[in-house]
């Protein structure tokens, strides 16, 4: 549709395709909160904070190093910087474009759980569950185009940093939403 509007009306756009947006504002002002919660990192952190009894691993027999799904997590501040760079590109007169936004590195469900255990210092009970229909074994971004054209580079690519920022948010908002 964006391509059609570009062709028909000359409306330029940049489509930013996020992989798994994660983390929170390091200053604690903004974070992720929605009901029902479906995102892995907040769910795990709700276990660490006592809001949930355990985390369910949906399938442990995938063709991945530890049998759990692998995903690319990109910090929300890095997504913000990509938006700013894309806007500057458009304002400078560039044409329409689309970019994948991710770290280019995947982390398994078990690696995310271990990161949360390190960051929070809390045990995180795990329950094995069935695979969810349609879950591919791995989804990892190829963000080379964003890096090349926009000069975008994730600044918070380490999983422990992403989890630590989300943990700070979770601790500041232990009963959100009410």
pLDDT digits (tens, 9 = 90+) for 12-42: 999 999 999 999 998 878 888 788 889 999 9
Q: Which domain holds residue 97?
A: 2-172
Query: When comparing pLDDT for 29 and 135, which is higher?
Result: 135
118: confidence class by pLDDT, cuts 50, 70, 90: very high
Q: Where are the alpha helices (DSSP H) in the chain?
A: 2-9, 40-48, 76-91, 109-120, 144-150, 159-172
- How many Å apart are CA 9 and CA 11, to the nearest integer? 5
Please name the residues in contact with 152: beta carbons below 8 A apart, sequence gap of 6 or more.
78, 81, 82, 85, 99, 101, 143, 146
pLDDT the model gives residue 178: 47
**Which of 14, 134, 137, 31 shows the shortest CA–CA distance to 84?**
14
Is 117 domain-assigned? Answer: yes
**How much is the average pLDDT of 107-127?**
98
**pLDDT value of position 33:** 79
Mean pLDDT score, 99-122: 97
Mean pLDDT throughout 100-113? Answer: 96
Model pLDDT, residue 175: 62
Mean pLDDT of the chain: 94
Number of domains making up the chain: 1
pLDDT reported for residue 42? 95
Cα–Cα distance, 42 to 167 (Å, whole number): 8
d(C-alpha 3, C-alpha 155), whole Å: 30
Give a yes or no: residue 60 inside a domain. yes
Indicate whether 178 belongs to any domain: no
Q: Is residue 177 part of a domain?
A: no
Q: Per-residue pLDDT for 56 more than 60?
A: yes
Residue 29 CA to residue 145 CA, distance in Å, equals 31
- Better-predicted residue by pLDDT, 171 or 164: 164
- Contact of 57 with 128, CB cutoff 8 Å: yes
What average pLDDT does range 87-108 have in this prediction? 96
What's the pTM?
0.92
What SS3 state is found at 36?
coil
* Count of CB atoms situated within 10 Å of the CB of 87: 11
Does residue 126 lie in a domain region?
yes
Flag whether 73 is in a domain: yes
DSSP state of 29: S
Contacts for 27 with CB less than 8 Å, ≥ 6 apart = none
The CATH code of the domain that includes 108 is 3.90.25.10
């Amino acid at each position: 549709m964006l391509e059609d509007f570009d062709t028909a009306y000359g409306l330029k756009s940049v489509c930013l395709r996020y992989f798994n947006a994660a983390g929170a504002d390091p200053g604690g002002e903004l974070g992720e909160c929605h009901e029902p919660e479906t995102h892995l990192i907040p769910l795990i952190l709700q276990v660490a904070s006592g809001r949930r009894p355990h985390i369910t691993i949906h399938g442990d027999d995938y063709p991945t190093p530890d049998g759990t799904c692998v995903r690319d997590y990109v910090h929300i501040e890095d997504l913000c910087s990509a938006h700013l760079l894309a806007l500057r590109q458009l304002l400078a007169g560039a044409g329409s474009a689309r970019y994948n936004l991710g770290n280019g590195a995947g982390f398994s469900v078990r690696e995310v759980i271990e990161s949360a255990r390190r960051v929070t210092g809390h045990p995180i009970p795990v329950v094995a569950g069935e695979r969810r229909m349609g879950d591919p074994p791995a989804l990892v971004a190829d963000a080379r185009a964003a890096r090349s054209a926009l000069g975008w580079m994730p600044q918070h690519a380490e999983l422990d940093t992403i989890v630590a920022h989300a943990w700070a948010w979770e601790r500041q908002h232990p009963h959100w939403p009410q």
